[in-house]
């Protein structure tokens, strides 16, 4: 079966409509069939609709995404309660161990992100992976830091990514590889993103899954949950009426 490639993290400033449209069109040319663009939590319906219209014009599926950066577990829970049903993808940027643990065990979280380049402040370990595997959260690896860092910082980041991807694989936590691009020049073809994962020893079939089915599975699952017909996992309303 032909793979449908996805990039779940494009980061244009959506107020810059020219840049946003340029990145959407380039994503289509690069071979992506699904993209997610990070939107601000207070994104207006007009901005959301304009982005969706630009994706439809380019022939590409668009998923809404919000990145949460809570300082405490309580703040994360509050943000999830407020925003979960407004976005198709929820990613948590884990900047402390307490936040990382809360995010990993909360079923409302789709992606766990560890943006720090410092080994000591990246909190994806065996305990984190065990929680994530039970809650269906995925580990997101953004390639932008690899492209923009250099020297010792890049070497340390690669060491962290080798450790984290190995833990995720052994624990059954899906890996999603995204570009994290904020500019057209930082965008890459899906195959190129998959090839880059060889730098941290991710096997070919896992790398291809990370830019295709792992990402689309999150969107499909959440679209079902956000549907008015959804009741519970595996239960949907087929027909409404007095004779049901």
The string of pLDDT tens digits covering residues 54-65 is 999 999 999 999
Strands 230-232 and 235-236: antiparallel
Average pLDDT over residues 223-239: 63
pLDDT of residue 2: 84
Is position 241 within any domain?
A: no
Is position 32 within any domain?
A: yes
Is position 113 within any domain?
A: yes
CA torsion, points 228, 233, 234, 238, in degrees to nearest 10? -10
| Alpha helix positions (H), the chain | 17-30, 45-58, 73-83, 97-105, 126-135, 144-148, 151-171, 190-196, 204-210, 213-226
CATH number for the domain that contains residue 224: 3.20.20.140
Average pLDDT over residues 28-38: 97
pLDDT above 60: residue 234: no
Q: How many DSSP H helices and E strands does the chain contain?
A: 10, 9
For the whole model, what pTM was predicted?
Answer: 0.90
Range of the domain at 94: 5-236
**Which position has the token pair 């779940």?**
8
Is position 242 within any domain?
A: no
Is position 243 within any domain?
A: no
Q: Total structural domains in the chain? A: 1
Is position 204 within any domain?
A: yes
Is position 83 within any domain?
A: yes
Average pLDDT over residues 117-144: 93
pLDDT of residue 117: 83
């Amino acid at each position: 079966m032909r793979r449908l490639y996805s990039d779940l993290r494009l980061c244009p400033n959506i107020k810059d409509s020219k840049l946003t449209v340029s990145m959407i069109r380039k994503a289509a040319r690069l071979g992506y069939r699904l993209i997610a663009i990070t939107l601000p939590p207070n994104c207006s319906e007009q901005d959301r609709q304009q982005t969706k219209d630009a994706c439809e014009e380019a022939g590409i599926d668009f998923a809404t995404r919000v990145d949460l950066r809570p300082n405490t577990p309580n703040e994360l829970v509050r943000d999830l309660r407020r925003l979960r049903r407004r976005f198709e993808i929820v990613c948590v940027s884990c900047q402390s161990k307490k936040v990382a643990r809360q995010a990993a065990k909360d079923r409302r979280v789709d992606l766990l992100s560890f943006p720090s380049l410092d080994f000591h402040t990246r909190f994806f370990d065996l305990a984190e992976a065990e929680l994530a595997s039970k809650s269906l959260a995925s580990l997101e690896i953004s390639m932008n830091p690899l492209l923009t860092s250099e020297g010792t910082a890049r070497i340390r980041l690669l060491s962290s990514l080798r450790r984290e991807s190995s833990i995720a694989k052994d624990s059954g936590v899906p890996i999603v590889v995204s570009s994290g691009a904020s500019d057209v020049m930082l965008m890459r073809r899906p195959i190129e993103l998959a090839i880059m994962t060889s730098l941290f020893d991710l096997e070919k079939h896992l790398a291809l899954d990370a830019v295709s089915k792992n990402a689309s599975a999150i969107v499909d699952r959440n679209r079902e949950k956000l549907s008015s017909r959804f009741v519970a996992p595996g239960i949907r309303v087929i027909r409404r009426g007095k004779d049901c």
